[in-house]
Chain A
Amino acid sequence: MSFNVDERGYYGNFGGAFIPEMLYPNVEELRSRYLDIIAEPSFQEEFHALLKDYVGRPTPLFKADRLSAKYNTNIYLKREDLCHTGAHKINNTIGQILVAKRLGKSKIVAETGAGQHGVATATVCALMGMECIVYMGAIDIERQAPNVARMRMLGAQVMPATSGSKTLKDATNEAMRHWINHPVDTHYIIGSVVGPHPYPDMVARFQAVISEEIRFQLQEKEGRDYPDYVIACVGGGSNAAGAFYHFLDEPRTALIAAEAAGLGVNSGHSAATTFLGKPGVLHGSKSLSMQTEDGQVIEPYSISAGLDYPGIGPMHAHLFESGRATFYGVTDEEALVAAVECSQLEGIIPALETAHALAVFERLQAKPNEIVVVNVSGRGDKDLATYQNRLKLND
């Protein structure tokens, strides 16, 4: 079975490009050119030079001895939190802005939820001297003020999405509408492995550097180039796609996805899409999404703004349906406990998203001789207000 995208833009039953005709020329231009552009030596050279000197790659693969001792196995942390701007998101925005340049685009539009992808997009736009518009839900603008300030400092225009539930899904709708209204000079940098084909595949390819590095780093440290488990959190699923990518066809590696179960999978306040979603079309592709019986999209809930999305990328829907990946639902509380544990055992404060991935060790029951790699997708600075509040750090 293949876990990569096929020529129709599908992963098994999921994927495709369900877009209005107004977007067809743009998406088709991207679809017909992205593979050739990415394969160009000058692209590869520029991409890798920027990943090295600007992003700070390769990011370390750190053996977490105290966590390993606690769970009686071998735990490695893939330190995407050390990337410039504080998360893996910039791997994708660097790749996409280089594609946009080669497509002759002069303006960038993006969506953002918590603001991490917005900051990563504003960053590369500043670097490349391109105009940047970021749509962000009006509610998110209020609750993520530091990232709004960062984007503005970087010269981006932050536009509030005031429709629907005024959060990430609505910001995505607005970014798509902006693209419809500006089809010629603008490229849309989607922040996750979602959207119409070729976005899920293109974003996965840019994030694949994560698993590429894990391979050679493990070879160096353990003498074998695959782990027994790779764990990553999944909202839309870009960091997981990157961490899984080079292990998709490696049967010795189990792929573990941690979804945000919010107050509990069945609490009515959750974002655990594989548990609660049904097949449907959202933001341009067929995948699993949380929706009413009538097909209206449901607003999800998670303590983590980055996992607070009512769908997952089509690649992950296929990994779920085929059984290739195992999905766990992790509650807000479990994530908070894991965040404290990682902070106090390893001296690394993880992002709330990452904390969901760090919360599955107990359930995993990995053996003493096994190797577990967790993708530390981002750092916890942006979540300090939530940690202060929920963990009573100021009392």
Chain B
Amino acid sequence: MTKMNRISALFASATEPILNVYTTAGYPHLEDTMTVLNALQAGGVDIIEVGMPYSDPVADGETIQLSNQAALEQGMSVAHLFEQLKDMRKSITVPVLLMGYINPVLQYGVEAFCAKCAEVGVDGLILPDLPMVEYEASYREIFEKYGLFNILLITPQTNDERIRHIDSVSKGFIYMVSSASTTGAKTGISADQEVYFSRIAAMNLQNPRLIGFGISDHDSFVKASKNASGAIIGSAFVKMIAQAKDLSAEIVAFVQSIKGKN
């Protein structure tokens, strides 16, 4: 019935580390969303994670908070985002995830939201404040009906039993948070973190993993990718586009520099 989810297809065929870049929708300017997406793809990004701005993003550090606030002040909303993304699949071929907080999804209506995601070609969701137990009880059926992958997080404090459970519920990949922190709080990868990465790698989980939080440049991307299928960059990218003079060109250059292709 539905085609193979683009995320599964990507992980099945990838030969190099996967780069997932987070960007805040409606930022730096309200109507920049598609410009940013197209430039990310042109630069060679493998997955695009589009942040739905929220007034109270508790899992995010200052950089992403401020971008959320700016986008909301410019008039961004979930409904407007779907409007911006409606012809996305005319140009974007890479997997697209929506990341955000559960309350705006609840207000849009969970089923209506998922239907709209499927309609515009979104492949998965990252909703950090939707815990696994709630997902399994009330959301999983709806997400699956619309072919959406729910990406769950693990952290250095997540115990093995829970990691196994998360692995069994996950589809696509597991978002491995590199340290106990909010986004953008720390940069670089320490020796302790590498121990954590290899501990999880040794668990032989059924899902591949992408490592996020603290990844900001080529060096940290390469380090993280040694113990996972790839990595996720958020705050460093948002910081860059906040100051970009030539948005598209600088995004292409940024992605290439992370991947080590310039």
Contact = CB atoms under 8 A, between A and B. Distances in A.
Nearest to A296: B55
Contacts of A278: 107
Nearest to B166: A21
A1 B180 CA distance: 40
B181 A181 contact: yes
Contacts of B57: 173
A104 interface: no
Interface string A194-236: 0000000000000000000000000000000000000000000
Interface in A344-364: none
B152 interface: yes
A20 B104 contact: no
Contact of A22 (B59, B79, B105, B162): B59
Contacts of B55: 164, 296-297
A38 B158 CA distance: 26
B155 interface: yes
A261 interface: no
Interface in B40-99: 54-59, 61-62, 65-66, 69, 72, 77-79
Interface residues on B, range: 35 or more
Contacts of B102: 18, 281
Contacts of A280: 103, 106-107
A168 to B, nearest CB: 12
B157 interface: yes
Interface in A266-289: 278-284, 289
B58 A279 contact: no
B188 interface: no
B69 A281 contact: no
Given A163-B69, A164-B56, A294-B79, A282 B103 contact: yes
Interface in B161-209: 162, 177, 180-182, 185
A295 B65 CA distance: 16
Query: Which secondary structure characterizes the binding site on chain A?
Result: mixed
Nearest to B54: A296
A164 B130 CA distance: 22
B260 interface: no
A180 B153 contact: no
B90 to A, nearest CB: 26
B129 A18 contact: yes
A282 B155 contact: no
Contacts of A163: 62, 65-66, 69
Interface string A81-106: 00000000000000000000000000
Contacts of A164: 55-56, 65, 69
A291 B107 contact: yes
B134 interface: yes
A18 B128 CA distance: 9
B56 A180 contact: no
Contacts of A296: 54-55, 72, 104
B104 A295 contact: yes
A374 B77 CA distance: 43
Nearest to B179: A181
A88 B161 CA distance: 41
A183 B56 contact: no
Quick one: which of B59, B78, B79, B158 has the most chain A CB within 10 A? B59
Nearest to B60: A177
A122 B197 CA distance: 38
Contacts of A25: 155, 157-159
Contacts of A21: 128, 131, 152-155, 158, 177
A182 B180 CA distance: 7
Nearest to B104: A295
Interface in A176-198: 176-177, 180-184
A281 to B, nearest CB: 5
B157 A183 contact: yes
Interface of A: 16-22, 24-25, 163-164, 169-170, 173, 176-177, 180-184, 278-284, 289, 291, 293-297
18 contacts: A18-B102, A18-B129, A18-B131, A18-B134, A19-B131, A20-B58, A20-B129, A21-B131, A24-B158, A24-B162, A173-B57, A173-B58, A180-B180, A294-B78, A294-B104, A295-B105, A296-B54, A297-B103
